[in-house]
A and B are shown apart, each in its own frame.
Chain A
Amino acid sequence: MNRRDALSRVALILGGTVAGAHIFLEGCKPADRKTTDTFSADDIAYLDEIAETIIPATDTPGAKAAAVGTFMTVMVTDCYAQEEQEVFKQGMNLLKEASNKKFGKSFMDLSAEQRTELLTETDREAKDYMSAKKAEEPKHYFRMMKELTLLGYFTSQPGAEKSLRYMLVPGKYEGCVPYKKGDRAWAL
C-alpha cells in the first residue's frame, strides 16, 4: 500500500486544490461491472474470521468486532473491477481448499493457531506472487483481503478509537511532542 501512503502524503501537502483527510485514494481499475453477485451471510462470517486472524482481538477489539467481513463485501462489490471481484471470490474458495488439504477441516472449524499457520503461509505466497507479477495483473487474493482488513479495521470506530487514538477536533497543532514506545498512533 505504498502508493496509497504516498498519495495520502501528497494530498496532505499539495498546494493545488487539495486538502483533507481523505484516506483512501487508491481507486479500482475501471471495467464492466456486475453487481448481481452478492455475498451470503456465511461468506461474511468466513471473511470475518479471516480478518480476525489478521487483526485479532487483544486488549482492544479485533477485526470481527469492527465488522470487517461486511466491509470487505461492500468494497469488493462496489469498488472492485469485475476481474478483481473474481480473483477475490476464487481466493475465498482456494483458501477453503487449502484448509481442507492441510488440516482435513473447513477453515471455520480450525483453531486460531491453525488459521494463523495457514494464513501466514498464504501471506508468504501472496508476497512472492506480488513481487513477481506484472503491473497490470490483479493482486493476489490474500493481499486484497489483508489490505481491506487493515483499511476496514483502522478506519472503523473500534479500530480508530481503541487501537489508535482518534480526535474529531484536535483544536491545536504541535509539531514536536514527546513520544514513548507503546503510545498509540493518531487515527486520521
Chain B
Amino acid sequence: MPQDSPQVNINGTSDSNTYDAIVVGSGVSGGWAAKELSEKGLKVLMLERGRNVEHIKDYVNANKAPWEFPHRGGRTQEMIQQYPVLKRDYPLNETNLDFWVKDSESPYTEIKRFDWFRGYHVGGRSLTWGRQSYRFSDLDFEANAKDGYGVDWPIRYKDMSPWYDYVERFAGISGSKEGLPQLPDGQFLPPMDMTCVEKDVAARIKEKYKGARTMIIGRTANITVPFESQGRASCQFRNKCWLGCPYGAYFSTQSCTLPAATKTGNLTLRPWSIVTKVLYDKDTKKATGVEVLDAETMKTYEYKAKIVFLNASALNSTWILFNSATDIWPDGLGSSSGELGHNVMDHHLGVGASGMVDGYEDQYTFGRRANGIYIPRYQNINGDKRDYLRGFGYQGGGSRQGWSRSAEEVALGVALKETLSEPGSWTMNIGGFGEVLPYHENRIFLDKNTYSDKLEQFNDPVTGKDLGMRPVPDKNGKQRLDKWGLPVLAFDVEWKENEKKMRRDMLNDAKEMLEAAGVKNINGRDGDGTMGRGIHEMGTARMGKDPKTSVLNKWNQVWDAPNVFITDGACMTSAACVNPSLTYMALTARAADHAVEELKKGNL
C-alpha cells in the first residue's frame, strides 16, 4: 500500500511562509482539518511539534512476535525512572515507547494529581487510541442546559448528525444498529462477533432488565471490509493496533486523513514545529498566523495564513492561547470570557467487576478481536433515576483465560504445563466510563511559580502511590520550563461529589448485572482512577452561545479571533460518557466546511 509522501518541509526555509490555512497538530482532529481544508483547495501547512512517523515504514515493532521483545513488552527500572507519569498506568511499556512523550522533556505541575499521557509525533494519539467510536446524542447536548452545570451547547444532534455520517463513512466504523436514542446509530461497517459467553450475558441482561439495559458489540474505528480507494486492508485481528497497523485497518492520521490530504497536492507537513503563539492583529481583530519554535534547531519562524486551526490536543491548544495576544489580554487569546483553561474534563474509570462463567467448555474463539462489548448508559433515563447527575457506560468482554491465570492447584511439572497449554475457564469483565461534570474550578494555567533545583518525592495523597519526583517551591528559585525553555501547565483538577456517587453505582451495578447474567465468583474493583486516566482530556476552551461565558462560538471560532478555530477536545462543552474522538472528527469537518464558506464570502 504505497502512499505518496506529503511535502515535508523540514528546514522551514521555504521561499514563502504564507499559506491559506495553518493546522496546528496532526492527531485525530488535526488530520481531519488538514484533509478537509486541502480537499477544498486551500494551501495548508500542518505543524507537528514532534518527529515524523511515516505510515508502515515507521511502525518498527508492528510485526514483531512476543519473543522479539527482550522484556516481553514489560517495563524496566530505567524506563520507570525516566517516565514518572507514564509509569502510573499501562502506557509505559516496551512495545510502543516511541509513541509516548518523554516525561522528563515535557514536565507539568500537579497542584492535584493529573495523569497526562501524551503523544508528540505526527499522528499524535491517533496511532495509539482505543478506537471506540460513539455518537453524542441530544441527551448529551442538552445536559448542561437541563441541569445547569456548565453552559448550554450551542449545537444539537441535528447539527452534528450529517457530519457524523460524513466522518464515519471515511474513517470506517464497525458496529451494530441498535435503535437506542441515547446512542444514535451511524454509518456502520459490519459488526465484529461477540463470543458465546458475551452473547449469553447480553441475552440475560436484556431479559432481566426488560430491554432497559443492553449489551452490544463495541463500535470501533477498525474497518471490517477493505477500503480499496484508501489503500486500506480490513482488520486482520492481530490486536496489535497500538504498534501502528501495517494494513491501515484502523483510523489514524497516517492511514486515513494524511494520505487524503497529501493527494490534493495542497498539504505541507512540517514536523519538529512547536507553535508558541497565535500571531494576532489587534486592528483587524484576527490572527495573522503562528510563531513556530523549531524543536531541533531552536530557531523561531513565523508562518502566515488566513485561518488557523488549533488541534494540538485539548490542553496544549489552550496552552497556545495562554501565550497568544497577551499584550491585549494578559491571560491570553480567548481569556476575555474568564473561561479559558477552566472546565477541564475527562472520563472517570477504573471501576467495574469481573467473574467466572461456568460452561461453554466446548467453545473457543478464533483471532484476536481488537474490540470489546459496550453497555450504553441507562442511568437517569427511562425513569431510572439516580442520586447524581448524568451517567456512565461500561466496556468489557468475555473470553477464555490464557496461561497467565492462576493454576495453584498444580505446582509444577508436566501437569502444570499441560494445564496451561489449554485455555482456562471463561471470564466476563466490565468496567465503567463515567461522565465528569464541567466545573469552573477544575482548571489549568501557566505555572509562573518559582522552584529550587531540589526535587522531592511526590506521592498520591489518597493512595500513597509513587508519582515520581517534583521540584520544591522556592520564591527565590526559577520558573519551571520544559526542554525547549517554554512555560509549563499547572493542573488544579479533581473529581467532586457527583463523580464519587456515580462510582459507587458503577461498582454496584457492575456486580449486580454480572450476577444477573449468571457470572460466578464476582470480584468488584475500584481502582485508583484519577483525572487524566481516561486519556480523554476535554474542555478549557469551550463552545457556547455567549462570548462572556465561552471561548468558542457554535462553529468553533474563537470569539475574540474568528479566523482561529479549535476543534480538538478543548472545545467540548460537556463530556458525555462516551469516547469523544468521533465527535472531534465530526466537529472538525463541520468547522472546516464553515471556515471555507466564510472565506469565500470574504468574512475571514
Contact = CB atoms under 8 A, between A and B. Distances in A.
B7 interface: no
Contacts of A6: 354, 429, 525
B553 to A, nearest CB: 29
B526 interface: no
Query: By CB atoms of chain A within 10 A, which of B66, B198, B354, B372 has the most?
Result: B66
A177 interface: yes
Contact of A171 (B67, B74, B80, B367): B367
Interface residues of A, number: 83
A78 B76 contact: yes
B303 interface: no
Given A166-B65, A176-B196, A182-B422, A13 B78 contact: no
A185 B420 CA distance: 8
A21 B397 contact: no
B492 to A, nearest CB: 22
Interface in A1-38: 1-2, 4-28, 30-31, 33
Interface stretch (B48-56, B126-134, B495-503): B126-134
B362 A58 contact: no
A5 B67 contact: no
Contacts of A27: 74-75, 80, 87, 92
A78 to B, nearest CB: 4
A182 B65 CA distance: 24
B194 interface: yes
Contact of B90 (A2, A7, A55): A7
Nearest to B361: A179
Contacts, number: 275
A169 B74 contact: no
Interface stretch (B280-288, B401-409, B555-563): B401-409
Contacts of B326: none
A176 B365 contact: yes
B380 interface: no
Contacts of B193: 173-176
B398 to A, nearest CB: 9
Interface string B132-159: 1000000000000000000000000000
B86 to A, nearest CB: 11
B364 A116 contact: no
B116 to A, nearest CB: 12
B413 A12 contact: no
Contact of A75 (B71, B236, B403, B424): B71
B327 interface: no
Nearest to B413: A116
A156 interface: yes
A114 interface: no
Of B90, B199, B579, most buried by chain A (CB within 10 Å of CB) is B90
A170 B236 contact: yes
Given A18-B90, A170-B236, A179-B364, A24 B417 contact: no
Contacts of B77: 28, 30-31, 33, 78-81
Interface string B572-590: 0000000100000000000
A54 B412 CA distance: 5
A173 B404 contact: no
A1 B416 CA distance: 15
A43 interface: no
A17 B125 contact: yes
A188 B367 CA distance: 10
A14 B361 CA distance: 26
A140 to B, nearest CB: 13
Interface stretch (B240-248, B294-302, B315-323, B479-487): B240-248
Contact of A17 (B395, B413, B535): B535
A2 B405 CA distance: 6
Interface in A92-129: 116, 119-120, 123-124, 127
A55 B415 CA distance: 9
A80 B76 CA distance: 8
Contact of A175 (B90, B199, B404): B199
B238 A169 contact: yes
A134 interface: no
A5 B196 contact: no
Contact of A187 (B66, B96, B408, B429): B66
A150 B65 contact: no
Contact of B349 (A16, A19, A123, A157): A16
A10 B401 contact: no
Contact of B71 (A10, A24, A156): A24
Contact of B395 (A13, A168, A174): A13
Nearest to B217: A175
A35 to B, nearest CB: 9
A10 B422 CA distance: 22
A17 B404 contact: no
Nearest to A120: B411
A9 B429 contact: yes
Nearest to B134: A15
Contacts of A56: 413-414, 417
A151 interface: yes
Interface in A26-69: 26-28, 30-31, 33, 53-56, 58, 60, 62
Contacts of A150: 403-404, 420
Contact of B413 (A8, A54, A177): A54
B600 interface: no
B75 A170 contact: no
B401 A19 contact: no
A180 B362 contact: yes
Given A17-B130, A22-B95, A168 B63 contact: yes
Given A13-B397, A24-B71, A116 B412 contact: yes
A26 B87 CA distance: 10
Contact of A16 (B365, B413, B535): B535
A22 B364 contact: no
A163 B72 contact: no
Contacts of B9: none
Given A58-B414, A160-B65, A175-B195, A9 B403 contact: no
Nearest to B192: A173
Contacts of B368: 21, 170, 173, 186, 188
B70 interface: yes
Which of B218, B366, B533, B535: most chain A CB closer than 10 A?
Answer: B366
B95 A30 contact: no
29 contacts: A5-B402, A8-B404, A10-B90, A12-B239, A15-B372, A16-B349, A19-B129, A19-B242, A19-B370, A20-B240, A21-B239, A22-B242, A24-B73, A24-B74, A24-B93, A28-B77, A53-B412, A56-B417, A60-B421, A116-B412, A123-B412, A154-B404, A157-B67, A169-B238, A174-B365, A176-B195, A176-B365, A186-B365, A188-B402
Closest 4 CB pairs of A and B: A175-B193, A13-B372, A15-B132, A170-B367
Given A170-B368, A175-B192, A181-B422, 15 more contacts: A15-B131, A15-B372, A19-B241, A20-B243, A24-B93, A33-B77, A60-B417, A62-B417, A74-B71, A79-B74, A170-B366, A173-B237, A174-B193, A175-B195, A178-B364
